[in-house]
Chains A and B, each alone.
Chain A
């Protein structure tokens, strides 16, 4: 499994740096559009993860790298497990990159605040940028990316990027429909007194994010188990 992770990161060596530059550009656009730092870590975590994981699946298909890899001393199970570990590391890389870029942009906003021309805009941005919100946003990004990975990886590992990219929107549509149905069901249930108000407190928000993270981890692990079964008989 370690060898597979090493292979994945050897493939991504150049892309790991490159994605930071595109993230910086996207950050500025998102920041100007949304007028808030809160969205940035979550958005960048998901963006960095999706860019790099798609890069890996593209490399798999290019020149039949995945076929050659199977002739090497890596089992199919290790291939899948390794790809899941790589995905998890990419999510964490995305979260760290998201937080660092957000902090850098906040620093720039502080500087801009001292310039008369940009002071009002920068002050508005900084008003929506406390560290708790940034941290929660990063956690939300991690949870969201893991949920995406849980749906995406089995599809990609079974079908490859070219075919998988056509199947994936259908899979995500089904997941969204399921979540909406679940959400409607929850809303129709009698609400525990004060739950909504509690969720709006700092502790409530942290608890909610942690709960989502735990659910993401469980789904991620279940997804890995399914992907191992699917990849076992894949023809390459």
Chain B
């Protein structure tokens, strides 16, 4: 099994919004960051992958098996190995942490009560606390503790770090790193070890720079790019040009399609290989690209 999740040609139409042929894969052993502007289609894609919405077209494979072709009960079996964390604590507000643990034990065959208690202790979650008494950050930690305590192979996080302070976000990222190095049991072959994976949608791209292996960007219901993170943060760059430098670069056909954005102080150019660019234009400053800059130039930049 190469991919834990493989979405191909996903289509979904609502009034005023649609997903068009969305392709998204989460390879085993990798963390995929899913980015895009508000309303771009991230949550709809994730909800389709998790079965909360019914796609109009395309295919969704979970652990190598076609979700739409399988029976409902098989789909539920596969979900034993998926942990989901949404952008708010979705558990019923009147329940306390202990009651949630009891409920999860009814739902998940591999529920790890000891592991859950340990994580709650690490996160400072008291078992008597009700969901409505938890802050946003603590609520997210509760969701995460639940998602991590049933031997999931795939974690799906939709804006899970939104609204958390930097310390809490770092704590969550550490937890996700620990999850990735942990051992799990294969969904297809119980007893065999397998690699884990995470699909994480976020507007906080600095978090993704710390943890993601791949970055997928969606805009207006269409995938704009899907690349290895290192191709953005290590190889790509932003050339900071004055007007004359920009004119010179613009005339050079070596670098193919070029995306740029003009500001009052000059023009930024997105270059796919900052080292090659630097060799050709040694007088132009080229900075490493951040995911934010890369996304902005890909979505809003002009094209030569």
Q: Which residue of A lies closest to B89 (CB)?
A: A63
Residues of B64-96 contacting chain A, CB below 8 A: 72-73, 75-77, 79-80, 82, 84, 86, 88-95
Q: Mind listing 8 A-B residue pairs with CB under 8 Å?
A: A3-B107, A6-B103, A6-B106, A10-B102, A63-B88, A64-B88, A70-B52, A71-B50
The CA-CA distance from A7 to B82 in the complex, in Å, is: 18
The CA-CA distance from A200 to B279 in the complex, in Å, is: 102
Chain B residues proximal to chain A, CB less than 8 Å: 47, 50-54, 72-73, 75-77, 79-80, 82, 84, 86, 88-95, 99-100, 102-103, 106-108, 156
Residues of A74-114 contacting chain B, CB below 8 A: 74-78
Q: How many A-B residue pairs have CB under 8 A?
A: 86
Q: Which residue of A lies closest to B43 (CB)?
A: A67
CB distance from A168 to the nearest CB of B (A): 22
Which residues from A are CB-within-8-Å of B53? 235-236
Residues of A40-80 contacting chain B, CB below 8 A: 59, 62-65, 67-68, 70-78
Chain A residues proximal to chain B, CB less than 8 Å: 2-3, 6-7, 10-11, 13-15, 59, 62-65, 67-68, 70-78, 233, 235-236
Which residues from B are CB-within-8-Å of A67? 47, 52, 86, 90
Question: Is A10 touching B95 in the complex (CB atoms < 8 A)?
Answer: yes
Which residues from B are CB-within-8-Å of A76? 72
Which residues from A are CB-within-8-Å of B86? 64, 67-68
Which residues from A are CB-within-8-Å of B103? 6-7, 10
Contact partner of A70 among B51, B100, B156, CB < 8 A? B51
Question: Is B90 touching A74 in the complex (CB atoms < 8 A)?
Answer: no
Which residues from A are CB-within-8-Å of B80? 73
The CA-CA distance from A14 to B75 in the complex, in Å, is: 32
Q: Which residue of A lies closest to B109 (CB)?
A: A73
Which residues from A are CB-within-8-Å of B75? 75
Contact partner of A59 among B52, B76, B92, B102, CB < 8 A? B92
Which residues from A are CB-within-8-Å of B47? 67, 236
Given known contacts A7-B106, A11-B94, A15-B94, what 20 new A-B pairs fall within 8 Å (CB)? A6-B102, A6-B106, A10-B95, A10-B99, A10-B102, A10-B103, A64-B88, A67-B90, A68-B90, A70-B50, A71-B51, A71-B52, A71-B82, A71-B84, A71-B156, A72-B84, A72-B108, A73-B80, A73-B108, A75-B73
Question: Is B88 touching A59 in the complex (CB atoms < 8 A)?
Answer: no
The CA-CA distance from A73 to B106 in the complex, in Å, is: 10
Question: Is A72 touching B91 in the complex (CB atoms < 8 A)?
Answer: no
The CA-CA distance from A15 to B86 in the complex, in Å, is: 26
The CA-CA distance from A176 to B164 in the complex, in Å, is: 52
CB distance from A121 to the nearest CB of B (A): 39
Question: Is A73 touching B76 in the complex (CB atoms < 8 A)?
Answer: yes
Q: Which residue of A lies closest to B103 (CB)?
A: A10
Contact partner of B95 among A3, A11, A72, A78, CB < 8 A? A11
Which residues from B are CB-within-8-Å of A68? 84, 86, 90-91
The CA-CA distance from A74 to B108 in the complex, in Å, is: 10
CB distance from B83 to the nearest CB of A (A): 8
